[in-house]
């Protein structure tokens, strides 16, 4: 599977790019979020249906580039003042949105399904996940990315990704040793927090250096290549401290944002010409690579492992799907705002996507999930991935949606 010939990979990538763009635009024309069409392309082409395109390392790398470009773009366009205003709510949504589904999923697994503690912990961990790529893409397609609720979701989803990595590392260690090293976990979280504080400031100084060089050379043609290089460097640095690569890309985007200024160093604002060059140069890359990521999410899904005739499967799947949805939806209802905003926050945090699949795969390879539980978790990931974009579209299509 990994040793595909180059010309075959070219064919696969060409099929993915063509069908993802075409299907996404067709879905968008009919008022359906394009991300659903792109994921469906992956489901149809992958192991779930036709089996034409296997999951392989090259497509995975292109998909990772897609999510990194997307998170850089989000950081680049982020309204930092708005994000700062909703910082408390974002933290609350992230914390409760991780803890509540975890405890709910674990409790149901222990006391309703009568599973063992390790299995219950992994199920709870899988339900904490939020796929920030799917969430942000849907909000962007809806033209709601700069709304107050979207800023809450953006902050919460970034924090949720960090929590997810911490929970996954703890659970994987627990599955092997049945113990948890609190000291190592706290040190790990300290590294991540330090990176998040330092990286944007470092990035801002690097942006100032790039601006200085551009002025000296009287050209900005080299800027896109340098910015992409820095974005990848930040992604690498984030991974090295145990944080998601997308956190590095997001902080790099913040650093080059025209809305980000370092206290006591206001003069380091990024040159407007450079900002415009970044916008115009990276947009085609964003349009090219981002759909590959969502197709890859679909390629990873394997619906063939699911025994749809099993009553036990449906019992476990439906209950856990309800828990997965209500666990995040309840968090949205706790924030201030009208009912539309609250529901939007809740449903925006529901998608598990590739993050949920990573948890499920770790559960499978560690021997925690048997075939039945693995199939159940794949099904839950599918439901939570496809449902929220449709619901969000319906919510924001109704101009007179009830208020509280």
pLDDT, one tens digit per residue, over 220-262 is 777 788 888 888 888 888 888 766 677 778 777 777 765 554 4
pLDDT value, residue 11:
92
Residue with tokens 């080059």: 256
What does pTM read for this prediction? 0.70
Q: Which of 5, 31, 51 is nearest to 298 (CA)?
A: 51
With DSSP H G I counted as helix, E B as strand and the rest as coil, what are the percentages for the chain, rounded to 5?
75, 0, 20
Complete DSSP assignment for 49-79: TT--S---HHHHHHHHHHHHHHHHHHHHH--
pLDDT value, residue 238:
81
Range with the lowest mean pLDDT among 92-96, 128-132, 327-331, 344-348? 128-132
List Cα–Cα distances, 183 to 30, 113, 125, 180, 237, in angstroms: 52, 33, 20, 9, 22
pLDDT surpassing 60 at residue 353: yes
Residue 231 token pair: 């974005």
pLDDT value, residue 371:
78
pLDDT, one tens digit per residue, over 178-188 is 666 677 677 77
For 337, list phi and psi in degrees, rounded to 5.
140, 175
Q: Contact, 76 vs 333, CB < 8 A?
A: no
Within 10 Å of residue 2's Cβ, how many Cβ atoms?
8
**Mean pLDDT calculated for residue range 327-335:** 82
Complete DSSP assignment for 226-278: HHHHHHHHHHHHHHHTTS-HHHHHHHHHHHH-TT--BTTBGGGPPPHHHHHHH
Range with the lowest mean pLDDT among 50-59, 90-99, 270-279, 379-388? 270-279
pLDDT, one tens digit per residue, over 295-312 is 988 888 778 877 788 888
Q: Which of 362, 374, 304 is nearest to 165 (CA)?
A: 362
Q: Contact, 230 vs 203, CB < 8 A?
A: yes
């Amino acid at each position: 599977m990994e040793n595909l010939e180059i010309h075959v990979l070219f064919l696969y990538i060409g099929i993915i790019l063509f069908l993802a763009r075409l299907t996404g635009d067709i879905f968008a024309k009919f008022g359906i979020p394009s991300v659903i069409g792109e994921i469906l392309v992956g489901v149809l082409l992958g192991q779930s249906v036709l089996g034409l395109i296997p999951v392989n390392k090259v497509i995975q790398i292109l998909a990772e580039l897609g999510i990194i470009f997307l998170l850089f773009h989000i950081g680049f366009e982020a309204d930092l003042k708005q994000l700062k205003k909703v910082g408390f709510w974002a933290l609350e949504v992230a914390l409760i949105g991780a803890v509540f589904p975890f405890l709910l999923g674990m409790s149901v697994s222990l006391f309703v399904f009568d599973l063992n503690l390790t299995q219950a912990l992994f199920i709870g961990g899988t339900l904490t996940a939020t796929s920030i790529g799917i969430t942000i893409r849907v909000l962007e397609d809806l033209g709601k990315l700069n709304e107050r609720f979207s800023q809450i979701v953006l902050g919460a989803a970034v924090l949720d990704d960090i929590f997810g990595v911490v929970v996954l590392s703890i659970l994987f260690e627990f599955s092997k040793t049945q113990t948890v090293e609190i000291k190592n976990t706290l040190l790990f979280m300290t590294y991540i927090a330090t990176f998040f504080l330092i990286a944007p400031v470092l990035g801002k100084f690097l942006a100032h250096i790039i601006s200085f060089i551009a002025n000296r050379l009287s050209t900005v043609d080299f800027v896109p290549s340098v910015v992409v290089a820095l974005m990848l460097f930040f992604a690498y640095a984030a991974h090295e401290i145990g944080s998601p690569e997308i956190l590095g890309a997001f902080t790099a985007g913040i650093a080059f944002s025209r809305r980000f200024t370092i206290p006591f160093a206001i003069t380091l604002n990024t040159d407007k010409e450079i900002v415009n060059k970044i916008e115009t140069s990276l947009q085609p890359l964003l349009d090219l690579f981002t759909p590959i990521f969502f197709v890859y999410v679909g390629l990873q899904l394997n619906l063939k492992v699911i025994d749809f005739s099993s009553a036990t499967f449906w019992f476990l799947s439906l209950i856990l799907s309800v828990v997965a949805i209500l666990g995040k939806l309840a968090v949205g209802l706790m924030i201030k705002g009208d009912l539309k905003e609250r529901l939007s926050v809740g449903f925006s945090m529901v998608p598990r996507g590739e993050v949920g699949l990573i948890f499920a795969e770790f559960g499978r390879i560690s021997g925690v999930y048997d075939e039945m539980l693995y199939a159940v978790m794949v099904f839950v990931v599918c439901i939570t991935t496809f449902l929220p974009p449709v619901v969000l579209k319906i919510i924001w299509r109704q101009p007179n949606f009830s208020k509280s």
